[in-house]
Chains A and B, each alone.
Chain A
Amino acid sequence: MPSVFPSAIQGWFDQKGWTPHPHQLKMMAHQNASTALLIAPTGSGKTMAGFLPSLASLAETPRQGMHTLYVSPLKALAADIKRNLRTPISEIGLDIRVEERTGDTSPTLKRRQRVDPPQILLTTPESLALLTSYEDNSRIFAGLQRVVIDEIHALSESKRGDQLMLALAAIQSMCPNLRRVGLSATVKDPGLAANFLSYNSNYCEIIKLDTLAPPDVEMLQISETAPWMGSGASYAIPAVLREVAKHKTTLIFHNTRAQAELFFHNLWLANTANLPVGIHHGSLSREQRERVENAMVKGELRAIVCTGSLDLGIDWGDVDLVIQIGAPKNVKRLVQRIGRSNHQYDVPSKARLVPANRFEVVECVAALQAVQENDLDRDDRDAGPRDVLCQHILIAACAGPFLADALYLQVISAGSYSDLSRKEFDECLDFCATGGYALKSYDKWQRLVLSNEGKWHLRDPRAAKRIRMNIGTIQDTELVKVRIKGRGGKPLGEVEEAFAATLSFGDTFLIAGQVVCYEGLRDMTVQVSQKHKGKPKIATFSGTKFATSTQLSHRMLACFQKKEWPEIPHYVREWMQLQREVSRLPEVDRLLVETFPNKGRFASVFYGFAGRNAMQTLGLLLSKRMEEAGLNPLGFVATDYAVLLWGLEPLIDPSPLLNRVGLRDGLETWLSNNAVMKRTFRSSAVISGLIERNLPGSRKSGRQATFSSDILYETLLKYDPSHVLLKITREEAMKGLIDFGRIEEMLDRISGRIDHIVLDRVTPFAAPLLLEMGRVPVKGQAEERILAEETARLMSVSGLDRI
């Protein structure tokens, strides 16, 4: 059989004594497909499979200019790929330049790349969007043949993916024959991923490679019992250390950065054997992260406490065990994390789960079953977000004058925008051009103006610089850097500004695995000193708290309905049995509500199992409706599984509170004044270009010149309530933090079947909720009252009240 490869490449395979993998051959066979999606587990030579057609083509017909574009969600991944590609390229003897272009690339190299692009350019969605914004973009991309998008399953879950697809749509209009290749981890619905990837819903070849070796995954055997509540899992530290000692390199995954910091701190305190252990998460400074990454590559670390920052496919070190601390919350992510160990697809991965509390024990059992049945969570692709579209329109304007009709066609060629109506597009265009305000207009100072030929262009071409400086969709809450005090102090990472504001001199907190002491705030940087003792506060880092997926929630509910639970540890079984005797166990198609007195108040628990965000929203809506019903609610607390509300009067009948129309109405009125909306507005305002985060010449002082996005939000709500940015904010909030869809999913499955159990004391399932952190007081007059008390106290303490 003749080789599908040019002789040079075939010779290289032969010389190495390697046979190409079947999926690598399939990718070659489909090298002319307009779109191809390769779904394969990590460690299967997936990236090479994506690049082989490019290498083959460049081996046969060497040429200058950009031939292949590679996009990955991580800068580090691009650097990794560069190393991995350069070896075979030089061994085969090809004359191909491979270069990165990311936020870390030097301005000199970036300028040179625009004039003389390499054959293979490795980049990120943000850097690619920036590249499309230049006036000479058609020259930069001239002759481009292929684009390889790595980790597309991860990109498609965020706005970065939407931005990427819009940038590719723009490039495709310059290079009509551009072929797209997507590389993905296993997904539930390849069709959705294919639609996301393809241009104008073109046919997409799907090449699938299943895992050969089923993973070795189970609960970590721990002699101590899991606590009732909380997410720290410090009870498991001795058991985790034993596993670390038994393995070469262990990744210890956490769901949040704060949990990772706390766990790392406690791990060190218990690490009497002095095993080398590091910490890695997205709030750490680049220097800190790179140190850990390099140590990992050299095999100097036995364990790395980490978060999602190590979810994606970088081949660092020789990981042979993954430990997941806390319930995995969703099966896809768990499978992804399991795959980080034994990074070769024909060697079974090894992973152990550590539930942080008793509800999580049940969730972990449910997740294990799902992994064994290879049952991934449903993929949800929402319609493309319009704040990203607004940014895309501004980017298009930077590149040169455009026709609205042509840009609209280009935008809807991207899968997630294919349902975008012309009216929705025009609203965004109008917003970019005039601000889109109903009551007052910027006649003189429009951002985009229409030329005589009917093309939109920037009124002031100098604005392009500012727009380019603000490209990107990654949103963090306002962060401040943390640095060791003193000249050239070492950067440690970032914390939320709101957390920094609660610190006073001498407070200690955890960051980068160290206990540090707050010294003060200078130039928007938290100055700290190192400290070795003291009980630290926990810094709050941005980063989402994942909600338990619908599938896992359903599996947990199904599990409760079994007669016996041999797979569950005895102490959790006994707790469930007791709940069954005292009250009921929650069910999939019914809603359990419990009401009981507690400490002079009345508590009601709704076991909705709709995930943290939706349960939080339900708590807000229910407390509002209880207020209207005269039940005087005082506060609530929500978890992935239930919401507990307390108030002065007992709940008699929960059914009217759960009326769908009533909940929706409550949502409408409550939404507009809600912190979630303000946060969502801020992020949409930044993405859509209403707020610029980066200014030319970045002035450090002059904080009084900047005003908060809350003021913009409130002004808009007051004077222009139907403004498009408020619409976008609602669209985004509904799918994200508010997650009203999950509440509706719950209402659908219970369909009015509510079991209200009134008891004289707290139930086994409700008890942990009473210990849960993160209580939300019902707002209103409360804040003013606390403020009045605190100001009076401050005056009296200082003695100034007598003056």
Chain B
Amino acid sequence: MLDGHFFSFFGVQLIARPSGVLWWPEERVLCVSDLHLGKSDRLARRSGVLVPPYETIDTLQRLRKEIELLEPDIVICLGDNFDDLEAADSLSLADRLCLSQLQTGRMWIWIQGNHDLGVGKLTGQYLEEYNFEPLVFRHIAKVGTKAEISGHYHPKAAVRLRSRSIVRPCFLYDERRVILPSFGTFTGGLRSEAAEFDVLMENEAFAVLTGNKSYVIPMPRK
């Protein structure tokens, strides 16, 4: 059986994969959020700091593994796919090749995020949000909506062990929405205790830790 946390959401079965992608097996939809491709390029351009420029290829390689394993018909990138549109334009030839191999033979949707608003030049449909009954896919969760799959916040959660705590990126979900962890290599996270999640998530919410395996816990709150 496929690794991951299986849960049912508005009548469909979803799987939160240890890698951080969301898989909807029935419709063969793979959803991934906050790739932040080209982050090192944007950092260098804006601040002069030259971090190791390998995060784009690392992110794409990890995504490739998931795509090769799951063979999705549709890939939905939930926004902040690029660190900004200029970063998207500056992807190296190797990165572009890798990306177009991943796109071959499937539908590819770029949801626009706050970092990459607008229509880019790379192949794929650029949408503000995407409705796929019964679910709706958008970058930032909207209060008062339901059946919503979003990203943006880079949630992470901590499990306290005796002498230390282990913090990992996580999915958050409750009866109304799922928030995906960020998939990009150079991305940080926002702890589930943050006020933002308190507003968005119902009382009975779960956090699914990513890593080698998926671990589900009640969403840690303040």
Contact = CB atoms under 8 A, between A and B. Distances in A.
Whether both chains belong to one complex is answered with yes
4 tightest A-B CB contacts, nearest first: A435-B50, A445-B44, A463-B48, A704-B154
Contact of A719 (B52, B186, B209): B52
Interface in A705-737: 705-708, 711-712, 715-716, 718-720, 723
Interface string B158-198: 11110111110000000000000010011111110100000
A690 interface: yes
Contacts of B188: 703-708
A591 B165 CA distance: 38
B45 interface: yes
A459, A689, A708, A712 — most chain B CB neighbours (10 Å): A712
B216 A791 contact: yes
A790 interface: yes
Given A704-B154, A704-B187, A719-B54, A790 B206 contact: no
A505 B163 CA distance: 16
A719 B212 CA distance: 21
Nearest to A725: B52
A200 B54 CA distance: 41
Given A458-B48, A711-B186, A440 B222 contact: no
A343 interface: no
Contact of B159 (A459, A703, A787): A787
B161 A719 contact: no
A628 interface: no
A787 B166 contact: yes
B47 interface: yes
Interface in B22-72: 41, 44-45, 47-55, 57-58
Contacts of A504: 160
Contact of B218 (A441, A788, A795): A795
B193 to A, nearest CB: 8
- Tell me what chain B mostly uses at the interface: helix, strand, loop, or mixed: loop
B51 to A, nearest CB: 6
Interface in A500-514: 501-502, 504-505
B207 to A, nearest CB: 10
B50 A434 contact: yes
A396 to B, nearest CB: 15
Contacts of B212: 784
A794 interface: yes
B92, B161, B212 — most chain A CB neighbours (10 Å): B161
B217 interface: yes
Contacts of A705: 188
Given A435-B52, A446-B50, A718-B58, 8 more contacts: A442-B41, A459-B48, A466-B47, A719-B54, A786-B161, A787-B209, A787-B215, A795-B217
A712 B159 contact: no
A520 interface: yes
Nearest to A505: B222
A720 B217 contact: no
A788 B213 contact: yes
B133 interface: no
Given A706-B188, A718-B58, A501 B215 contact: no
A690 B58 CA distance: 19
Given A704-B153, A787-B159, A791-B209, A692 B218 contact: no
Contacts of B54: 437, 439-440, 715-716, 718-720
12 contacts: A437-B53, A442-B53, A445-B44, A445-B50, A505-B222, A689-B49, A704-B187, A706-B188, A720-B52, A788-B215, A790-B161, A795-B217
A498 interface: yes
A463 B158 CA distance: 36
Contacts of B44: 435, 442, 445, 447
Contacts of B218: 794-795, 798, 800
A783 interface: yes
Given A715-B55, A787-B166, A460 B215 contact: no
Interface residues of B, number: 46
Interface in A297-331: none
A485 to B, nearest CB: 14
Contacts of B166: 783, 787
B82 to A, nearest CB: 15
A502 B187 contact: no
Nearest to B195: A522
A254 to B, nearest CB: 22
B71 to A, nearest CB: 26
B156 to A, nearest CB: 9
Contacts of A437: 50, 52-54
A502 B160 contact: yes
A501 B159 contact: no
A447 B52 contact: no
Nearest to B48: A463
A498 B217 contact: no
Nearest to A435: B50
Contacts of B216: 791, 795
Contact of A794 (B41, B187, B190, B217): B217
Contacts of A708: 188
A77 to B, nearest CB: 34
Contacts of B186: 707, 711-712, 715
B216 to A, nearest CB: 7
Contacts of B160: 502, 504, 790
Contact of B50 (A439, A447, A498, A787): A447
Contacts of A447: 44, 48-50
Contacts of B167: 501
Contacts of A720: 52, 54
Contacts of B222: 505, 520
B49 A502 contact: no
Contacts of A444: 45, 90
Contact of A790 (B154, B159, B191, B193): B159
Nearest to A723: B52
A442 B44 CA distance: 8
Contacts of A719: 52, 54, 57-58
Contact of B52 (A459, A715, A795): A715
Nearest to A462: B48
A787 B215 CA distance: 8
A440, A704, A784 — most chain B CB neighbours (10 Å): A704
Nearest to B42: A445
Interface string A766-802: 0000000000000000011011101100110010100
Nearest to A441: B53
B45 A445 contact: yes
A521 B190 CA distance: 13
Contacts of A803: 204
A696 B92 CA distance: 30
Nearest to B40: A442
Nearest to A464: B48
B159 A791 contact: yes
Nearest to B94: A440
B185 to A, nearest CB: 6
Contacts of A498: 164
B52 to A, nearest CB: 5
B35 to A, nearest CB: 14
A519 to B, nearest CB: 10
Nearest to A504: B160
Nearest to A692: B49
Contacts of A716: 52, 54
